[in-house]
Amino acid sequence: MLTLVDSLVPWLKVLDRCGHRYLLVLAGEASWGRRLAKDVLQELRPRAVWLGNADEPDVAAQVLSVAQAERLLGQECEILVFDAHTGFSADAFGLASGCVRGGGLLLMLTPELARWPRLPDPQQRKLLAWPRTPGDVAGRFLTRLGRLLASGEDCIVLRQSAPWPGLPRLEPAPATAPVVADPHCLSDDQARAVEAIVKVVSGHRRRPLVLDADRGRGKSAALGIAAARLLQRGVGHILLTAPRRLAVHAVFEQARRLLPDAEMRGGSLHWRQGRLQFLPPDELAEDRQPADLLLVDEAAALPAPLLERLLRAYSRAVFASTVHGYEGSGRSFALRFRRLLDRHSPGWRALHLHQPIRWRAHDPLEAFVSRALLLDAEPVSAPAGMEPADCRLQRLDGDRLAEDEALLRQVFSLLVSAHYRTKPSDLHGLLDNPDLQVFAFGPPGEALAVALVVAEGGLPPELAEAIYRGQRRVQGHLLAQSLAAHLDLVQGPGLRLARVMRIAVHPRLQGRGLGSGLLTQLGDWAEAQGFEALGASFGANRSLLRFWRRGGLDVLRLGFRREHSSGEHSVLMLKPLCPVAEGLFRSARAGLGRRLSYELAEPLCELDPWLAADLLRGSAGKSLRLDAADRRQLEAFARHRRGYEVCMPSLHQAALGILTARHDPLSDDQRALLVAKLLQRRRWDETATLLGHAGRAAVVAALREAFVRVLDATAVS
């Protein structure tokens, strides 16, 4: 009697010649699935990776834990064993599937599909805030995944407790590969991409190239081929950046293939007088490095403000992005970044790579992964003329989302199109986080905008005290713990808080007030549910700050360091919904201006001064007034030409009063000038460059003009 291995090995040998990739699931006991997987690897001796149990012995493969999945970036294997008995990570599954080459197999080991959602899964702990346990997870994500697997569409399931089905018939790939004009490229699409990248250096300035593709189309390889050719043509310095250095492995590998005598030193490839150098994106944005060309790979995983700074800093740049991938939302990138390009570089060019290189078109594994992780979910068409008054708030129950695939796709597509950091793990949380509430905003039964709200706080007094003293931290409760640890509010963790994690509006309906309408109704819902405050935390930029302020939230804290993921400082905003919270937040809000006046001189000395001015506005909670002494000092500087250095203490104090008042007569640029020179203490030349002035004399003149405007507009207190 033939064993599974006897049947599977000949089929895998045909699959190797086919060019397609398949998902094969061994559903049963862990020992059974692992033994069969090891037998297959032992028989075939392929280039293989075993992902999911780093302690698995006697495996003819590279063995990695789920936490080490990022090591697979830039790698290829013929068989990938994904051991889900140790937990299922949606992010790792999406990432790892891309390293299986054409003709390869993803062999997934799972419990019996019907039992799987009820079994303990260590990965579920990442969804849970204190004091939740895995028993609080409903298992909807794994139930849905099991249903998709059981359908048998684009996958094969072999069950320990059932007869094995027949394996699909395979058609070998054509014997002759298509002819590509460029000998170093594997498709005409890739050749066109290489040519377009090279042209960015020789063509007109300020005409960046945006290159996008699904995974496996040779996008990163095209960057490497083009970089090598440019170095061969005498281009001296090419900068390369991406969210992670591992993500550009393929770029360096392709460049080295064309430049065999090149030398790698740290994060740079040196060839004769030229070099291809990797630098992290936040480092590039803060400290511009001169270069002949900037290459940005996996640009979708970077926030729009960070991309905008790179776009402004480099006149010759290529931004490459994965459209449907675990790395980040390519559709969010396309929608948001292209608006920036239209504004800053109207001559930009777009190029999309269609042809798969690493596997054949209509690949079964690619199709299954896209469907299971909703990588290909697109927003429904938006009705014309939709206004906030036409919409109502609808809470979407997790069971309903899990059972209604069309609604789930609609909700997740909006999250993906609106936020660059949406990942497959967010789909897991959407279905299984017990503290997460999902809201739709639109006509009955439709989701034209969505919001994710998580319950926080309500922590017992002894735990709140320990958090306040820095003795404890618990998982989750981001806002609640920050109130105690950063704002000296020991009562903060005890408040019941509703944190808005995400708000997303249909791309074609943005700017019509749907987001603001949704936020207003969320506040009403939170108050009715007994929450004591509504809050949010995000990477600060001016447009987001204005949006949340329109919803009644106030800034209480700004983080000192830029987040590596967003390139922005995180900001904490809250709206009190009860008298106790109102009293606590009023004191914290009043202290914001005082704290920032010190922080802007050192830890926040490089913060965008326009953003800093927005953060300060209104924090004093009172109107702008000057006493007689203040007015005399300002008059002496502004109208009687007293020297800047003599007046510095008075100017600093006056600037703080102006910037923290509810209203002032200054323009945005004048407020930014006061921040940059008087609070951040920037050098004269730096301030002049930042504000577009000719030098020190022009900056002093602009300061005098700003204070004259204040003097004319204020009364003596």
Domain count, the chain: 4
Segment 534-545 shows an average pLDDT of 92
Domain check: are 218 and 342 in the same one?
Answer: yes
pTM: 0.89
Res. 303: pLDDT tops 80 = no
Residue 401 lies in a domain: no
Q: What is the mean pLDDT of the chain?
A: 90
Residue 206 lies in a domain: yes
pLDDT in tens, 492-508: 999 999 999 999 999 88
pLDDT of residue 714: 82
**Domain CATH code at residue 451:** 3.40.630.30
Domain boundary, last residue among 573, 606, 639: 606
Give the pairing of strands 317-322 and 209-213: parallel
Res. 236: pLDDT tops 60 = yes
Helices (runs of H) and strands (runs of E) counted in the chain: 25, 21
Other beta carbons less than 10 A from residue 549's beta carbon:
16
Domain check: are 593 and 633 in the same one?
Answer: no
Band of pLDDT at residue 646, cut at 50, 70 and 90: very high
Segment 471-480 shows an average pLDDT of 96
Segment 148-168 shows an average pLDDT of 90
Q: What is the DSSP letter of 168?
A: P
Res. 104: pLDDT tops 80 = yes
Residue 390 lies in a domain: no
Q: Which of 138, 148, 75 is nearest to 110 (CA)?
A: 148
pLDDT of residue 309: 85
**Domain CATH code at residue 239:** 3.40.50.300
Domain boundary, last residue among 606, 637, 666: 606
Tokens of 20: 């397609």
Band of pLDDT at residue 622, cut at 50, 70 and 90: confident
pLDDT in tens, 546-570: 999 999 999 999 998 877 656 689 9
Residue span of the structural domain in which 659 resides: 628-713
Given strand 62-64, what is the order of strands in its sheet? 62-64, 48-51, 77-83, 100-110, 22-27, 156-159
Q: Evaluate whether 80 touches 105 at the Cβ level (below 8 Å).
A: yes
Q: How far apart are CA 534 and CA 498, in angstroms?
A: 5
Q: Evaluate whether 113 touches 33 at the Cβ level (below 8 Å).
A: no
Q: Evaluate whether 353 touches 12 at the Cβ level (below 8 Å).
A: no
pLDDT of residue 338: 79
Q: Evaluate whether 185 touches 191 at the Cβ level (below 8 Å).
A: yes
Percent of the chain at pLDDT above 70?
96
Positive/negative CA dihedral, 92, 426, 140, 22: negative
Q: Evaluate whether 393 touches 180 at the Cβ level (below 8 Å).
A: no
Positive/negative CA dihedral, 401, 405, 410, 414: positive
Angle at 509 (CA atoms; ends 506, 515), nearest 5 degrees: 75
Q: How far apart are CA 611 and CA 600, in angstroms?
A: 12
Domain check: are 483 and 544 in the same one?
Answer: yes
Better-predicted residue by pLDDT, 371 or 54: 371
pLDDT of residue 176: 64
Domain check: are 215 and 302 in the same one?
Answer: yes
Res. 334: pLDDT tops 70 = no
Domain check: are 201 and 348 in the same one?
Answer: yes
Res. 327: pLDDT tops 60 = no
Q: What is the residue whose two structure tokens read 């199709």?
A: 367
Res. 330: pLDDT tops 50 = no
Residue 421 lies in a domain: no
Domain check: are 663 and 589 in the same one?
Answer: no
Res. 478: pLDDT tops 90 = yes
Residue 389 lies in a domain: no
Q: Evaluate whether 499 touches 536 at the Cβ level (below 8 Å).
A: yes
Residue 619 lies in a domain: no
Q: Evaluate whether 414 touches 505 at the Cβ level (below 8 Å).
A: yes
Domain check: are 272 and 210 in the same one?
Answer: yes
Tokens of 381: 């068409």
Residue 281 lies in a domain: yes
pLDDT of residue 328: 46
pLDDT of residue 453: 98
Residue 360 lies in a domain: no
Q: How far apart are CA 709 and CA 662, in angstroms?
A: 16
pLDDT of residue 660: 92
Q: Evaluate whether 123 touches 432 at the Cβ level (below 8 Å).
A: no
Res. 175: pLDDT tops 70 = no
